[in-house]
Structure 1
């Protein structure tokens, strides 16, 4: 006799307790993926038998999660602000703290009318560039948005997301090592670059591409290179935002000032950690 949907969720929740911080949520999401039901549909059918074919698929998805594969890769999607992105192991999974880039960019643009060039350096899935374009909508057609990445595999994912969101006309995607070879200058440089040291490897990130995680011996190699490029590639009134390891805060500000000749400061994330390096004119 087939087990019920509720039995399947309960069993999966129990098995995921040592793997996931949200075992029941993961179990429900995997069940929804296997059955094609939405949240209400699952709730309404808790007591119904789970068809054998769907139970088999559910077991396969559960096994992937038990093996440590991130939910975003299993489901193939991740929400970022107002957009749903396709993600897989070619790109870093967008984090909630990275949404702050879009807020800072929108705030800066609100006080800077007129033509503007913005670039999302290390765009990965295209999260920052595509979210910014979506939220600007038709109100600021004068803002040119570029997403760049050294990984052509990542750019393929970004291109897929751009097509799904209907933003091909709005966001340019280019292969580039940071700003090298790009026609500048830019008014906004948004850079969610790798900043982990090799000794900061963690089981939770082992499925994500190392090139998107690790920034050299002290985690700051790519930021150094970008800041040196930004001296000539950032407009006089422009703004650069970078995400950093909180432990890098004081050094990051000092190096940014020296490399760019511009004011620099650190802005904390919601947890109070020194997370964002702000270089240039914040107003």
Structure 2
């Protein structure tokens, strides 16, 4: 009898563990260009949940990362393949729900940075309810990173989780959008996975506080070309040649200008 009970406990634990290996697929709507708020970019993102841990990332960014890894291994580089995987979700968010810890990892120029989120989301749960897709949801509001957000969560999926840095509600966030209508995350699909996505870190990740990350971002926006040249020289790259070559510098400046314009209305103000 004792052996049967032990077996049942093991099977139950295994079932719970497997059930928690889940991918939530969100469609992200972004109006990230401040000079053209009528234009909308859409991109799929994944929230992989495994027990008390999760990772949120852009589909194209993950495909690009995997392609780069394969190209390095085969030494067969294709700019055409890379060009079709441009992503406006070039970061990933990792959460540890037991420790209430959120880590942001992303690039500025050529460097990769990581910081721990130090702001808490104070949610106000409202009595308003709605059916979104097949889920019964309830509304909640918060102010975060310079925007006012409305979220709809469902207790049908009892995970205190959501896309991006959003979490802490008594159920999975099915939809969250800011009051200006510039950003929206909408749950499109849920499926089981064998394991969460793994990311290969190339080079060092600069660990710093969020305030220092924002200072680096301000420096990049003020003079992106100089910032990228400096980061390239720190990494031992060949960007010193660009300083001596006016054509290469002009090309870098044009790319930086285009990128900054495309991301001139960031999610976090």
What TM-score comes out, normalization by structure 2 length? 0.28
More helix per residue: 1
Higher strand share: 2
User: Taking structure 1 as the reference length, what is the TM-score of the superposition?
Assistant: 0.27
